Structures are given as C-alpha cells and as structure tokens.
A and B are shown apart, each in its own frame.
Chain A
C-alpha cells in the first residue's frame, strides 16, 4: 500500500497558466486570478497516474506530488 500523496503548488514558480486545472479538474480548481487551488487532501489512488502526468506537464515545474504524513 503506498503512502497517501498530496499535491502541492510552489507559488513562487507558478505563473497561473492553468494547465494543471485543465488536466485534473477533479482535484485542482482555479482562484479568481487564475492560480491553482489544491485541496491538500490525499490524491485518490485512481487519479494518481493522472496526478503524476499533471505534475510532469506544468511548464513552470510548480506542481509537486508529495508523500503525505
């Protein structure tokens, strides 16, 4: 069983381009200024592969998948 994984945004790197919200609409929404809101909840196992792919496609490398505590 893998440890719970959480999505985290590095807001210093983030530019508000919005690819992540398009790729993972179930887990990521955009605030009023176009920046991603990640819930901080564990990523459900069925979305883990999609989450990893989304991390890869952020053009600013601002999205991270971290092992939860």
Chain B
C-alpha cells in the first residue's frame, strides 16, 4: 500500500500538510463564526459554512493518511476515541477529541432544520472547545515548530482566533446597538 503511495514519506508529508491546511481552514471558519456580527452578514455566513465543509475534506485526508502511514501505529479507533492510540496517546487523543466535538457541531448544523434552533445553538457552543483541542493537537502531535512557516501558520491561527474572541467579548460588554429581542417577562 505504501509502495503505491510512493513510500511512507509521502503519507507523512500529506498528513502533516493536510493537518496544517485543516487548522488554517478550521481557524478561519471559527473566526468567521465568532466575529460574524462584525462583517457583512451574508458573505460571512456563507464563507463560514464553506470553510467548515473544506475543513471536513482536509480532515478526511489528514486522518486517512495518518492512519495508513506504516511508520506509526495509530489505528482507526483513535480517530474518534481519545485514548485509543498507542502512539503518543495524549497528542493524538486531543485530535480525536476535536473530531468528536467538531463532529457534533457539524451533524447538528446539517440537521439544523429538523432539530430546531435551540438544540442547534446549544451544541454549536462546543465549537469553543473544539478549536482549543484542535490547536493543542496541532502543537503536540503536529508540526515541528522549529520550521519557521509551520510556526507561522500555527501562531497565525491562534492570533486570528484570539482576536476574534476578544472582539466578540468587547462587543458583548459594550452591549447591543439596539434592544435585544426575546420574551421579556
């Protein structure tokens, strides 16, 4: 199998590269979701969805190449079960956690109309746990931070997400521009 894929080096590279691309796409999606109100609504909303779906594609590639890579033994179960990988259990486990949480967000978003707004919204908050898990996985299991551009991508993603979260917090503290709607009594 690895011979067909040009040697395990190729799998290792693709796994790393797709992981970085995944983090970048996912971070961008999170930034757009967190700071949605600060931009043009329609464009931001559609871009958020598109990036989330791109992330799923990168995730697929990332997970498959990592598991098929004969150099390390991870096992398919480790995709979803955080403590199932014999190789670097914690680091991989963080990735599995991100997949679990992100999966819940994704599935509820796809089934949003059927589940209703409240359920969808409640589960969507898990995104605030998904990103840190994904980032922690990237730092511990992933790129070699001594490579300058890997560090750039990682810290760039962190800076973008942090900025978005701070902007959202400030907006929340400032209060809404007009009266919020909702059953008052």
Contact = CB atoms under 8 A, between A and B. Distances in A.
Query: Would A and B touch once assembled, by the CB under 8 A criterion?
Result: yes
Interface of A: 13, 15-19, 22-23, 33, 56-57, 59-61
Secondary structure at chain B's binding surface: helix, strand, loop or mixed?
helix
Interface in B25-81: 36, 40-42, 45-46, 49
Given A61-B113, A61-B116, A19 B42 contact: yes
Nearest to B178: A33
Contacts of B173: none
Contact of A60 (B46, B117, B178): B117
Interface of B: 36, 40-42, 45-46, 49, 112-113, 116-117, 120, 178, 181
A59 B45 contact: yes
Secondary structure at chain A's binding surface: helix, strand, loop or mixed?
loop
Contacts of B46: 57
B117 A61 contact: yes
Given A57-B46, A61-B112, A17 B41 contact: yes
Contacts of A17: 41
A15 B178 CA distance: 11
A33 B36 CA distance: 20
B41 A15 contact: no
B42 A57 contact: yes
Nearest to B43: A22
A69 B49 CA distance: 34
A2 to B, nearest CB: 20
Given A13-B117, A18-B41, A60-B117, 8 more contacts: A17-B41, A18-B42, A19-B42, A23-B42, A57-B42, A57-B45, A59-B36, A61-B120
Contacts of A57: 42, 45-46, 49
